Amino acid sequence: MYIIQDERVFRYSFRNHPFSSEKARKATQILVSEGIVKPIRAMEYPEDILYLFHDRNYVEFVKEKSKEGRGYIDYGDTPAYPGIHEDALWVVRATLTAIDSTLENGDVSINLNGGLHHAGRDHASGFCVYNDAAIGIRYLLEKGIKPVLYVDIDAHHGDGVFYGFIDNRDVYIIDYHEDPRTLFPGTGYEYETGEGEAKGTKRNVVREMFSMEIDRGEFDQFIAGKNFRFILMQIGADGLAGDPLTHLRYSIDSYRKIIKRVHTISRDMCEGRLVLLGGGGYSLQNAVEAYTSAIKGLSQ
């Protein structure tokens, strides 16, 4: 397995704010030092990769805010700081590097500071400036690698990815999250299954407050009879018991289990092509433990 270990990528982080890259940096360090994963650096893809998903006007806006270095990029969750455009771009580069690494090696590649699933085509949201997961999916589709499966177990609905591909039948999505009535961003109901020719390619799995289990068989149900050529998984750890921002109580066991299951399927179905992205996780200790223990579990 390969993992992005690169300070340019970990620079995407906010001060005096819940979102910090510290969990990604720490977990990466532990996994590398224990020899579980091989460290790789992000490759310097051109800035154009942003336009695989984002509008030009939006990128120009972020660049301006990045020069100004103050205020917010959205309506109050995602602050601007000097250089945020460059830092967010490095996160995207890291995810594309992970994808290319997996295509080359047929093995899991990981970007723990990625998984910025809330950013939309023309807006930032929920601590996410550029949507590395959505750009990664587009990158695969452009290479002709499809269908792609995107699995998201972050406590929050991955709205940027979900609605970004709502009418695209080459992109299958299963997204587990806390009930939209009790948690940001307030979207992701079970009746939403894709639009137009893409009907049936999307699945929202809603978990009530205090739920302890992530998957109750929905994953196997969803993939039955389908075939994917690549799997991207966002493994945000903010649904684990003890997280200060959400109301879920997932056990570490349930977290490890679903990641392991997706890994097994990636081997059976698409030659081990699996990329893991980080995400939320607002108790540092919890997130580091969740990331390291789930990833170690894949090598056993």
Calculate ∠ Cα 168-170-171, nearest 5°.
Answer: 75
> C-beta of 196: minimal distance to Zn ion in Å?
28
Nearer to Zn ion, 6 or 238 (CB): 238
- Residue nearest Zn ion (C-beta atom): 280
Q: How far apart are the first and last CA of the chain?
A: 12
Judged by the rule CB under 5 A, the positions of this chain that interact with Zn ion are: 154-156, 236, 238, 280
3-state secondary structure of 128: strand
How far is residue 132 CA from its own chain's centroid?
8
> C-beta of 57: minimal distance to Zn ion in Å?
27
> C-beta of 147: minimal distance to Zn ion in Å?
25
Nearer to Zn ion, 2 or 184 (CB): 184
Nearer to Zn ion, 62 or 155 (CB): 155
Cα→Cα distances 103→6, 178, 229, 274, Å: 20, 32, 10, 9
Nearer to Zn ion, 73 or 155 (CB): 155
> C-beta of 125: minimal distance to Zn ion in Å?
11
> C-beta of 247: minimal distance to Zn ion in Å?
12
Nearer to Zn ion, 77 or 215 (CB): 77
The Cα–Cα gap between 179 and 247 comes to: 10
What are the backbone angles phi and psi of residue 292, rounded to the nearest 5°?
A: -70, -40
User: Which residues are within 8 A (CB) of 300 and not within 5 positions of it... i.e. 6 or more apart?
Assistant: none
